[in-house]
A and B are shown apart, each in its own frame.
Chain A
Amino acid sequence: MSRPVPKQADVSLVKMVLTLTLAGLLSGLALAAVYEATLPRIKENQRRALRRAVFEVVPGAADMKRMVVSNDRLTEAPEESEEAGIYAATNESGEIIGYAIPGRGIGFQDFIDLLFGYDPKSGNLTGMQILESRETPGLGDKIFKDADFVAEFRELAAKPEVVLVPNGTGAAPNEVDAITGATISSRAVVKIINEASREWLPLIEGG
């Protein structure tokens, strides 16, 4: 606006198209190169984070394998399968000592992704970890920052289902004390666990 527009007759359409094409091409090349270079590391990071979470919710686990459903039975997942599945945690001698089950559901602000451990022998939950959440800092984020709340999910009866009760009133083995000031987030965690349990526990016990 302030400067007079110079005469541009000499700049042909071809040059403009060429510039943008070239820019796009070079940019694509650079992106592809860096993507390829960082991909193994990114995958490794994700794998390690998942492994850490699985070992956290199933105490005593030494190794894990991914399980998916085929013919209504749980079987070990083939490599690179993208199907929804759960993780069987094994001890040093290869016996399955528990399962880590991922769950996802609506929290207070956004989806909450979590992982919980289940021991088929005792029918108890063995631990819970929030993988991904955007709950309010200082209130809703207590679902993973409040050590007392997280500890409630160790040795918690999974059947008939987990019940959320007001803070300080939990007595039965399947009751969880809600976090004061984060009722919605606590309720969301319990709901996600119950939904995932309904889906997976019969499969675990059936085979």
Chain B
Amino acid sequence: MRSILVVIMAVAIGACGGEGQQATQAAASTTGLKVYRHAMDQAPSTLDPVQASNVYANHVVVNAYDTLFSYKYLARPYALKPNLAVEMPEISDDELTYTIRIKQGVRFIDDPAFPDGKGRELIAEDFIYSIKRQFDPSQLPVGTWFWIERIVGLDAWKEAGSDYSIEVEGFRALDDYTIRIQLKRPYPQLLDTLTTGYSAIVPREAVEYYGKEFASHPVGSGPFKVIEYDTAKILFERNEHYRQEPVDIWYEGYDPETQAYTGVEVIHGRSPPFIDRLEIDFIGEDAARWSSFTKGNEVQYTVLPNEQVDQVLASKNPVTFKPEYAEKYHGYDVVEFGFVFNAFNMDHAEFGYREDPVENHRNKLLRCALIKAWDWPARSESFYFGLAKIYPGIIPPAVPEFDPDMSRDSVTRDVVEARRLLKEGGWTAENLPVFIFGGAAGIKNRLFFEQARSWFKEVGYPMEKMKLKQFATFGDLSKAWRNSELMYVSKGWGLDYPDAENTLQLFYGPNKTPGSNDANYLNPEYDALYEKSSVMRSSPERTRIYREMNQMIVDDCVAHTGLSRTRIFMWHKDVIALPDRQIVGGFFLKYVDLKTEDTIVEQIN
């Protein structure tokens, strides 16, 4: 009888509550815990930092593990700050030696991997071990390219068999709390690389204890610990041993003019994490994710699906919500930190390099013609509802080196010019090569292909000579890119750090496949400029070099590029956060707080 009464009361209370507050209040009233439910469109395939190559893996890794540095929560443009490091490093005058001191008393979570199941203190040697894993082929690393040929002795250590008992001259723990990194040449982006999931610090005991299962069993020292993980969701609990470091929102870059609506002022002076549980639901279908988000008592965050743009937005430029959505949800729009592009694989004779200079020139004319046939505004309108920025080259608007004044010829459709270029190259319907597009299985990729085929057909490319090769999974497609199997590579690139070097390296010769240069673009002049700029810190001179390289990519007609999508993040109004996942995935999650009944009353008053 008593339980029936409790149920009736619970239903009555639930009926009185606002829809948007149901989740938190329900969670609080039934469990007394603050639970935040996040959503992502894909599950990470691994939780092992050594393979944390995408935004999905990074959402987990940077919350379960520590990194030496991080980005300030609210500062835009992004700014580095120490995380596990005590302060920013001491850097020698020649910029070749970095000395980093780490915080004392930081502990890994309790886990059976440790003696007696008690997490031990994290020490400098753990960082050395974690980065060395990226140079140990047995660990199947994918982040090696960050540090390859950069650190004294590390490549030789790998060549010698990756024996962890051998000390690397330029990569040492001076004591338990001091790290010394010696570089072969200046590496201005080094600290940025030490914010990423690839550099997250793992305990060797756990790697050895779990073996392959370590990929699904994180043992870190981050703000949260994983208690459940499957293909549908991941559940974290607050790490009760996480260090107490009160947030200074002014230091974090808080701007009251643009960020007051988020309510983040309430976290000032308090130590994160502020929630007891973090749940990330992996919901692949946009419709299902949107439905869960708008239901009110399920996930509290989503990226606005393209299909909902017209329903939700009152205007696109600037982005504003219709009143019924503005009333319920917060939103934050930003041009993505990355871009989408389609590159010709220069290793394939159909469109790429030919030994015969005449044939080589003809191929260039063919590529240029197809670039002139491309209709970026139509692509943007069809698939991104016009919420995208189109620009020439490979330096996206999100980085300071972007050149707004660059000629837009390469992104302006000109069918007449395309036909002229084909004619000049002697290309006819009979001698044009079979054009094979590659894409992961799915209707969107098919439509991408059909749209491009239609454009190319208009300039004279026979329809039957354009084919789509679909791969069962994105992993299979990536493998085909790495193996240089495709003559045309369509991909998106998310920046690892806010520096155009990260996109320019995509066309750097030595990075050719299986590296990140899927286009296999080889231009000694470009490579020389890349090498010259890669040791320079941000400066007008470096920007000039970057832009010169960018122009080379455009002039050589290597790729259809580029487009950066506008991301619109939405979250419930009972969530206190700036959930910007643009850089390093979900590093913001440790700062998320929820409005309790007390804070709601406080705000109303």
User: Are A and B bound to each other?
Assistant: no
